[in-house]
Structure 1
Amino acid sequence: MSISLDDIDYFLAVADEGQVRKAALRLGVSQPAITKGLQRLEKTLGFELFERSVRGMTLTRVAEQFRQRTGALRGVLHDAIKEATDLHLGALGLLRVGVSPLYAQKLFVPAFVQLHRQRPAATVRASVHLNDELWRLLRQGELDMTISSLPAVVPDDLEVIELMHDDVCMVVRHGHPLLDNRRLKLGDLASAQWMLPGPGVAARRHVEARLAQAGLPPPRIALEVSNTSAQMGQILRETDLVSIMSESMLAGPSGQGLEVLPLAQARIRRVVGISLLKQARQQPLLTRFVQLLMEMAPQSAPVQALNAL
């Protein structure tokens, strides 16, 4: 069985973009070239890769698994070529780190500064995304590691290392009417309006789950944002919206003028740490960066050590 790497690249691009036209623009090739490449690949494999419709192209069930494996292998091959080039040029390698915007400053920045001092010839490529996107890129082989909140149940293909605890809290402004209620209950939030991240964000799902467990309807969204970033704090201080914020953000300038609702359910436990693919080969540069993150974590937490450390 002979498969062209170009055809694999065409397949992965269409899988990402959902359209041949967009994939062609991304790769800088013609649409017929991609169409023929997909036809060759499907003929060689013996099964269809996409379900085609007027809305675009979606992966078949079999192709979804094929995408995950080929994406990871293509990433490894790309890195092997890059690593060989770096070694030829006298560099020390490439480390691809995905980081949540909440922990770029607190965790990534100090660890990178130390790594750069120790390995000045190394290259680190940082990608800032929310959790779900980070894990997708990690599984596709486009990242070597992620720094973000950890899943409550760790998937079988991931290995995690805890760095710190940073609970998510339901917050309101000082003087908010809800704070006047000395016997505040979760049910009192039924009529509240919220500022929350999109439904794909884990913290939003946790809030929805807390309300559902109390028999309440989903939160009434007044403002939906990509994430509850520091820039949005002013909105909370000037309205009666309820939102969520991490304890680490509340302790800094972003938390000024805000209070955690006096409810046991207003705190959602969250552990922040490193995620890696179990089957991925751990480069010395990755091992050293993980060690620096563990040494410089803001608070001590029990950690699961990597086998390679």
Structure 2
Amino acid sequence: MRLEDLNYFVAVAQAGQVARAAEEVGQSQPALTKGIQRLEHELGIQLFARSSRGMDLTTSGEVFLERILAVRSALHDAIQEAHDLHLGKLGVVRVGVPSSLVGSVFSDAFAELIRQRPAARVQVTIGLNDPLVDGLRRGELDLCIATLARKPEPDIEQTLLFDNDLVAVAREQHPLHGKRNLRLADLAAYPWLLPNASVIGRKIVDACFTEAGLAPPNVALETNSSAEGLMAVIRKTDLLTVVGSRTLSQATRGLRSLDVPNLRWPRSVGILRRKGSYHSPLAARLVEILVKRSTVLRTSTGKG
């Protein structure tokens, strides 16, 4: 089985078309077609269903793709580890971080890392929690600083850094701040700014309303990024949103948390890594810095 045939298979599976995949890998279409045919012959299974739309993975092809991506990731780790050991290189660490944690967690840790290791190189990807975890699984990231799943995934290693519970907030002059005995139903009367329905924070909020016998929040403004990047909207309107309790004290001036008894959605932040994957000395050092700094964060004042 040829390594290039496996690479051709992955390229076509991800592109959905031989022509587009050929451009991405810099090979001719006949070369990719021949490589896939050779692979299917060796495996004795059909990997793709050919149609006028392009190349669709069969059920067997989908399973094979998942396994091959894991194998390629492990191969990349092995090559990188051998390379680092041979050259004594510090290497590059690839980190995924949600935008809400860049200023409060990543920036200080990176500043300390660069002071200790001036030659360090870090590639940071900023995005939502779920896409970052997907990138980690594909081997595109070495680690993520992200919200921890309540039930850990078997292929992901979690290291707790600190709790960052979600709290509901509004502008300081919002009518709800003057209301006594606030209940969740009072918050349901106002429009909300929230991330899209696939994001963990949104799922937590929707579930809370449902459990209380209420309809999900009326989302007037939905974002495919962190809601914490749109705090100016909250300051200028009566929209409500949720932020991490630590973020509230650092990046949300002009906003106040709403005093609703027991209205605090538990959420923890930590480091995610693929189990069994290679961790370069640089990645290991960054993890050490993050863990050390998390002790300070846990004991800091102004937690919201």
Please give the TM-score of this superposition, normalised by the length of structure 2: 0.85
CA contact (8 A) 1:91 1:122 kept: no
* Matched positions, count: 298
Identity score, percent:
44
Q: Equivalent residue of 2:259, what SS?
A: coil
Partner of 2:274: 277
**Aligned CA distance change for structure 1 residues 150 and 119 (closer, same or farther; 3 Å):** same
In structure 1, what is the equivalent of residue 302 of structure 2? Answer: none
Deviates more, 1:68-77 or 1:266-275: 68-77
Within-5 A mapping of 1:1-309: 2=1, 4-51=2-49, 57-82=55-80, 91-252=89-250, 254-264=251-261, 266-297=263-294, 298-300=296-298
CA distance in structure 1 between the aligned counterparts of 2:245 and 2:272, rounded to whole angstroms: 21
Q: Distance in 1 between matches of 2:144 and 2:108?
A: 15
Which runs of 5 or more residues in structure 2 are unaligned?
300-304
RMSD of the TM alignment (CA)? Answer: 2.6
Cα distance in 1 between the residues matched to 2:246 and 2:19: 44
Aligned 8 A contact 1:260 1:266 in 2: no
1:124 maps to a residue whose letter is V
Letter in 2 for 1:288: R
- Give me the whole-angstrom Cα distance separating, in 2, the residues matched to 1:70 and 1:91: 28
**Which letter does structure 1 place at the counterpart of 2:258?**
L
**How has the CA–CA distance of structure 1 residues 212 and 93 changed in structure 2, closer, same or farther, with 3 Å as cutoff?**
same
The DSSP-based 3-state class of the residue aligned with 1:189 is helix
| 1:73 shift after superposition | 2.3
Partner SS, residue 278 of structure 2: coil
Check 1:32–1:164 CA distance in 2 against 1; reply closer, same or farther (3 A cut).
Answer: same
Residue aligned with 1:266, SS:
coil
Q: Is the 8 A contact 2:84 2:90 kept in 1?
A: yes
Query: 2 CA distance for matches of 1:105 and 1:52?
Result: 47
Contact map agreement 1:83 1:93 (CA 8 A) in 2? no
Superposed displacement of residue 230, structure 1: 4.3
Shift of 1:237: 1.1
1:21 and 1:240 map into 2 onto residues whose CA distance is 50
Partners of 1:171 and 1:57 in 2: CA distance: 48
**Amino acid in the other structure paired with 2:271:** I
